[in-house]
A and B are shown apart, each in its own frame.
Chain A
Amino acid sequence: MSESNTILKLPDQRTATMPKRHYINNEDGLLSWLLTGDHKRIAMLYLMSITVFFFIGGAFAGLIRLELLTPQPDLVSSDTYNKLFTMHGIIMVFLFLVPSVPATIGNFLIPIMVGAKDLAFPKINLLSWYLYVIAGITILTALVLGGVDTGWTFTTPLSTHYLNTHVLTTAVGVFIAGFSSIFTGLNFIVTIHRMRAPGMTWFRMPLFCWAHYAASILMVLGTPVLAITLVLVALERVFGIGVFDPTKGGDPILFQHLFWFYSHPAVYIMILPGMGVISEVISTFSRKRVFGYTAVAFSSVAIALFGFFVWAHHMFIMGVSNYSALVFSLLTMLVAVPSAIKIFNWTFTLQKGSITFETPMLYAFGFMGLFTIGGLTGVFLGALGMDIQLTETYFIVAHFHFVMVGGMLMAFLAGVHFWWPKMTGRMYPESLSKLAAVTTFIGFNLTFLPQFIVGYLGMPRRYHSYPAEYQVLNVLSTAGATVLGVGYMLPVLYLAWSLKYGAIAGNNPWQATGLEWQIQSPPLTPNFIETPIVDYEAYDYEWLARKTEQEVTTVG
């Protein structure tokens, strides 16, 4: 097994068993899960809930693409269609992408990676999950009661005065989800500042932690602005006064500024944790320290900082002054640079490495390619004049799906596969997972590349029907979506299968560095038997080699 093209090293399956005690069998009963303070259990609770919401949001995407097979509005009514894309956006953004990596993988791993027994505030962590669930139920309630059709962007005055759908219920749901996010971010920041083990300096932390730290700053500082904006929308809707209504002296552009002040950093909240995953995966499967550790760490923080100053690039054609448009365009170009730096650093991590191509690495490669395209098309949009043609068309839809789905979702899947053995003690079936990864990649490109083209042609977004000459491209896109759907179903199936029938993983099947791989799989509830003392750098494969030489691994 060790001469082959994989670094996977599993214990002898004839004698291997799961550890006697771990966080899953430590306590029994539903209440022990629902009232847990254990960050690992909370992470699992999150994983199950976001998967449910992912598939609900995905079902809506399927219906949208189905409708768009034909130019005519013939599958559902216009109002229903509007509700479908609104719910798809709200669920995917607030109930899937924002919590995806941080609340599942981040919650599970950050305490372990810094050498702590738990996050700083376990009860707040649990509260965070409950807020998430309540938010999800609230949004589903809005759905069941008849849906909402504001678009996920709640543009005023449409959302305040011109719709009689369940705007208020949805706004309340998103508000609560926002606080779930704020508490998660707060927990991470305090944990990273205050709970690192002896010897774990800032620059010895895995880059995964740096990425989450940066994302947490955004969560903590940006999300409250969304909260107050939703409060104002709700008040205006209920009491009919006009802080966003021009006939009453208000200004709808004020809403745009307040909304995008959060929603632009939100996209970095969504992508930064994914970038953290990629750092870990690329490093492990090249057996090499990430090239330019400091640059990658600082670029995460730079993205967070710059990300606060570019919000009006969503408003270039809305009548903002030409001069503010200039400033925001310039800053948008600046925020693109740290992402480019990361891509190159990851690429050069491969050089002189010893590369293998297990499933997490495949997803990571997919991320790098697709995120590069997505990020560069962002530069298209940041160039003022170009934005005039491209904004509000399918080019935008393609751009953000490239970064969010081709980027973030691939990173999430990379992370789930990479840390699955750690979280569950089991390995997933490798050939099936590789198939799923490739299927996803092909399906994704088929779905979203045609959308760039049809966007430049002029097809607007959020359109129920469209001119006939756009049909071929839409059919390609729907075909791709079908393949993509299959690609996403497969992991659910084989990962569930692996819980019972997967190979026993052992402590460190990937022979990776990082504190999480030095403890058992699944970990004990307090993570460590004794507090680790860290006297080596991150990604120290030489240290790892020395350590494994001296060790005798037993499992059971």
Chain B
Amino acid sequence: MHEDHHEVLPQHLHHFATEEQQRETGTFGMWLFLLTEIMFFGGLFFAYLLFRNWYYDAFVAASNQLSIPLGAFNTVMLISSGFCMAVGVWAAEVRKQSLLVIMLILTTFFGLVFIGVKYVEYKEKWELHHIPGAHFDVSQFENPAAYGLKEKPLAPDMAEKTQVFFFLYFAMTGMHALHMIIGVGLLVWLILRARRGAFSSGYVAPIENFGLYWHFVDIVWLFLFPLLYLINRHPLH
């Protein structure tokens, strides 16, 4: 009674003894790769935590500039895309091709919305001269009242440190967005192959492993959102 486990898939690679070995190896490899990604982002997180500790007031004031509604909306987008991806993986495993394709398309859609919102946020920063570099403008932090804001003003030297916050903001969300764009690219490729039935006859490894990658990108955002947008947000009176 070996039919279930020993069907030889066309994608079976010669150097693996069994299809199961191939699949488990692939998954192990993806988990290991995600570990390297954690170390990669880790450097940025470390720098953020360090500078937030040193320049607390500047970081709070700059963080208040970020739009919580947009950030929360993006979080919902990503979680939704993660959910769709998970359903997609299940669909591949039970060989429901059309469901898989729909889920992959939805995942892509939510991902694109996320990237679109990020573009809106970045554009806003550009207009307010909050992009670090030669055109960075601290006046909003030194004199919030002039901009109709109810914040406490920052001393000039502390106001300068908001630039560090924005640098890390762009570096971290930018790196995250880059990973998402790569993910969306891979999704398009997976959708095309899924439509041709590549994943509906038992060969689910690419879907599963991509799912792992996508969930990882999701989790990175789940750390970024509270750290950058939420903590120590004080209510404006």
A associates with B: yes
In the complex, whether B121 has a CB less than 8 A from a CB of chain A is no
Q: Is the CB of B39 within 8 A of A222?
A: yes
A221–B36 alpha-carbon span in the complex (Å): 6
Supposing A221-B39, A228-B43 touch, asked if A190 and B164 sit within 8 A by C-beta, the answer is no
Whether B39 pairs with A224 at a CB distance below 8 angstroms is: yes
Contact partners of B17 in chain A: CB under 8 A: 531
| Interface residue count on the A side (C-beta < 8 Å) | 43
Chain A-chain B contacts (Cβ-Cβ < 8 Å), number: 108
Taking CB atoms, residues of chain B closer than 8 Å to A227 are 40
Residues from chain B with a CB closer than 8 A to the CB of A19 are none
Residues of chain A within 8 A (CB-CB) of B164 are 241-243, 248-250
Whether A189 lies near B32 (C-beta < 8 A) is yes
- Pick the contact of B25 from A195, A222, A231 — CB < 8 Å? A195
A239 at the interface (CB under 8 A from B): yes
Closest B residue by C-beta to A39 = B15
B39-63 CB contact bits vs A (8 Å, 1 = yes)? 1111110110011001100000000
Q: Which of B15, B29, B47, B133 contacts A232 (CB 8 A)?
A: B47
Inter-chain contact B161/A229, CB cutoff 8 Å: no
Min C-beta distance of B39 to chain A, whole Å: 4
CB of B119 within 8 A of chain A?
no
Q: Which of B37, B43, B163 contacts A229 (CB 8 A)?
A: B43
Nearest A-chain residue to B44, judged by Cβ? A228
Which of A22-30, A60-68, A117-125, A160-168 lies at the interface with chain B?
A: A117-125
Contacts of A526 in B (CB 8 A): 14-15
Is B167's CB within 8 Å of the partner chain A?
Answer: yes
CA distance A284 to B150 in the complex (A): 77
B126 CB-CB contact with A under 8 Å: no
**A447 on the B face (CB < 8 A):** no
Tell me whether A241 and B32 are in contact (CB under 8 A).
no
Q: Give complex CA distance A228, B171 in Å.
A: 10
Mark interface residues in A103-135 (1 if CB within 8 Å of B CB, else 0): 000000001000011111110100000000000
Nearest-Cβ distance from residue B155 to partner chain A, whole angstroms: 13
Contact assessment for B37 and A224 in the assembled complex, using a CB-CB cutoff below 8 Å: yes
Interface size for B (C-beta < 8 A) is 39
Could you tell me the distance between the alpha carbons of A211 and B183 in the complex, rounded to whole angstroms?
A: 34
Chain B nearest CB: distance from A239 CB in Å? 5
Least CB distance from B170 to A in Å reads 8
Residue of B13, B14, B29, B163 touching A186 (CB-CB under 8 A): B29
- Report B-chain residues with C-beta under 8 Å of the C-beta of A195: 15-16, 21, 25
Question: Is B124's CB within 8 Å of the partner chain A?
Answer: no
Cβ of A122 and Cβ of B15 under 8 Å apart?
yes
B132 at the binding interface (Cβ < 8 Å): yes
A117: contacting residue among B14, B43, B161, B168, CB under 8 A: B14
Least CB separation from A122: chain B residue: B15
**B164 to A: closest C-beta gap in Å:** 5
With a CB–CB cut-off of 8 A, which chain B residues contact A388? none
Give complex CA distance A223, B38 in Å: 12
Contact flags A516-533 to B (C-beta < 8 A → 1, else 0): 000000000010000100
Min C-beta distance of A427 to chain B, whole Å: 29
List the A side residues contacting B13 at CB < 8 Å.
122
Cβ–Cβ contact B40 & A249, under 8 A: no
Say yes or no: B167 contacts A241, CB within 8 Å. yes
Nearest-CB distance from A38 to chain B (Å)? 10
* C-alpha gap A251/B25 in the complex (Å): 42
Residues 1-43 of chain B, each 1 if its beta carbon lies under 8 Å from chain A, else 0: 0000000000001111100010011001100110111011111
Q: How far is the CA of A225 from the CA of B46 in the complex (A)?
A: 11
B24 contacts A224, C-beta separation under 8 Å? no
Q: Please, how many angstroms separate the alpha-carbon atoms of A122 and B26 in the complex? A: 12
Q: Judge if B142 is at the interface, Cβ distance under 8 Å.
A: no
Q: A117-B15, A194-B25, A243-B167 are in contact. Are A223 and B36 (CB under 8 A)?
A: yes
Which residues between 180 and 218 of chain B lie within 8 Å of chain A, taking CB atoms?
none
A349 CB to nearest chain B CB (Å)? 33
A138–B22 Cα gap in the complex (Å)?
35
Query: Is the CB–CB distance between A248 and B36 below 8 Å?
Result: no
| Distance, CA A250 to CA B164, complexed state (A) | 7
A117 to B35, CA, bound (A): 26
CB of A16 within 8 Å of the partner chain: no
Chain A, residue nearest B136 (CB): A241
Counting CB contacts under 8 A, is A182 at the interface? Answer: yes
A124 to B24, CA, bound (A): 16
Given contacts A190-B29, A249-B55, contact A221 B24 (CB under 8 A): no
Within the complex, what minimum Cβ distance (angstroms) separates A182 from chain B?
Answer: 6
Is A254 at the interface (CB under 8 A from chain B)?
yes
In the complex, A258 has a CB within 8 A of chain B: yes
- Quick one: closest A residue to B32, CB to CB? A186
Residues of B within 8 A of A122 (CB): 13, 15
Which residues from B are CB-within-8-Å of A116?
15
Residues of A within 8 A of B24 (CB): 194
Minimal beta-carbon separation of A157 from chain B (angstroms)? 15
- In the bound complex, residues from chain A placing their C-beta under 8 Å from that of B15 are 111, 116-119, 122, 195, 526
- In the assembled complex, B134 has its CB within 8 A of some CB on chain A: yes
Residues of B with C-beta under 8 A to A248: 160, 163-164
In the complex, are the beta carbons of B36 and A228 less than 8 A apart? Answer: no
- Beyond A120-B29, A228-B44, A526-B15, is A241–B35 a contact (Cβ under 8 Å)? no
A219 CB to nearest chain B CB (Å): 9
Separation of A116 and B36 alpha carbons in the complex (Å): 25
What are 25 contact pairs spanning A and B, CB under 8 A?
A: A111-B15, A190-B25, A190-B28, A190-B32, A193-B28, A195-B21, A220-B32, A221-B36, A222-B39, A225-B39, A225-B43, A228-B40, A228-B41, A228-B42, A232-B44, A235-B167, A241-B136, A241-B163, A243-B51, A243-B168, A249-B160, A250-B51, A251-B50, A258-B47, A526-B14
- Given A235-B171, A243-B167, 15 more A-B residue pairs with CB atoms under 8 Å apart are A116-B15, A121-B29, A187-B29, A194-B24, A194-B28, A225-B40, A227-B40, A228-B41, A228-B44, A241-B136, A243-B164, A243-B168, A250-B164, A261-B43, A531-B17
By a beta-carbon cutoff of 8 Å, the part of chain A in contact with chain B is: 111, 116-122, 124, 182, 186-187, 189-190, 193-195, 220-225, 227-229, 231-232, 235, 239-243, 248-251, 254, 258, 261, 526, 531
In the A-B complex, list the 10 residue pairs whose CB atoms are closest, starting with the nearest.
A228-B43, A224-B40, A118-B15, A117-B15, A241-B132, A224-B39, A194-B25, A249-B161, A239-B133, A241-B167
